[in-house]
């Protein structure tokens, strides 16, 4: 099992993410609405503060870097970042139908769940919400990429393993590709995290992108096929 280094007690985590939730999210919602054009397939990122550039300069997070890599590799996709700091799987589940209707994405990258653990949401509820998100996306003929997360070890080994296991179980059940751990490669490097030791710094964002890209790339159509 990957050993998550973020040894911060639950109260501190909840406080930090409460601040994240308080951040203005209107620009990110606008980003989701404005980046999609009808002549290109759309990739929607449905995530929380780690994908919403919390504590980072605008357009320096891994989602923005993904947009640039797609352009550099001449893969003609729009990227809509529908991530909101502090969001939970319940929030993502509630927001998804409108996003699917408006953007009609070809791919939905789901990066949610960590805030559920921080708020004490039952594991069964988190699993049910993620299952519904996957089902809704697939029913709309979108491919899904599920992004796995760990919670800090102070939650206990049993809880940590069960929480992470949700992602693998759903990946197998719905045959959707899985990013095993978004923070792989930086989890034991405190220098790669902001002062809260929760949110990755700007210099860590290429690693996050690479973790996602390995799973995403096989789903992308080459320019000649678009």
> What one-character-per-residue DSSP string does 101-129 give?
HHH--SEEEEE--HHHHHTT--HHHHHHH
* Backbone phi, psi, residue 123, to 5°: -60, -35
CB atoms within 10 A of CB 149: 23
Determine how β-strand 42-47 pairs with β-strand 78-81.
parallel
User: Of the residues 4, 31, 48, 49, which is catalytic?
Assistant: 49
72 among known catalytic residues = no
Per the annotation, the verdict on 9 as an active-site residue is: no
Cα–Cα distance for residue pair 203/207, rounded to 1 Å: 8
Distance from chain centroid for Cα 90: 14
Q: Which of 76, 128, 169, 196 is catalytic?
A: 196
85 flagged as catalytic: no
> Which residues 6+ apart lie within 8 Å of 38 measured at CB?
none
Q: Which residues are catalytic?
A: 49, 196, 199
């Amino acid at each position: 099992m990957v050993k998550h280094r973020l040894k911060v007690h639950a109260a501190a985590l909840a406080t930090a993410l409460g601040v994240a939730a308080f951040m203005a999210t209107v620009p990110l919602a606008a980003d989701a609405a404005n980046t999609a054009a009808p002549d290109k397939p759309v990739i929607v990122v449905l995530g929380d503060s780690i994908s919403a550039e919390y504590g980072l300069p605008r357009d320096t997070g891994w989602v923005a870097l993904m947009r640039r890599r797609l352009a550099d590799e001449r893969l003609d996709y729009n990227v809509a970042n529908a991530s909101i700091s502090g969001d939970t799987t319940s929030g993502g589940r509630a927001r998804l139908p409108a996003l699917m209707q408006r953007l009609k994405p070809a791919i939905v990258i789901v990066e949610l769940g960590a805030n559920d653990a921080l708020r004490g949401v039952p594991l069964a509820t988190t699993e049910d919400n993620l299952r519904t998100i996957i089902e809704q996306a697939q029913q709309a003929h979108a491919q899904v990429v599920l992004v796995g997360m760990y919670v800090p070890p102070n939650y206990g080994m049993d809880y940590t393993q069960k929480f992470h296991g949700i992602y693998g179980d759903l990946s197998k059940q719905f045959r959707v590709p899985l990013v095993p751990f978004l923070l792989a490669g930086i989890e034991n490097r405190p220098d790669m995290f902001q002062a809260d030791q929760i949110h990755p710094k700007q210099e860590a964002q290429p690693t996050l992108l690479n973790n996602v890209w390995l799973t995403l790339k096989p789903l992308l159509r080459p320019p000649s096929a678009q």
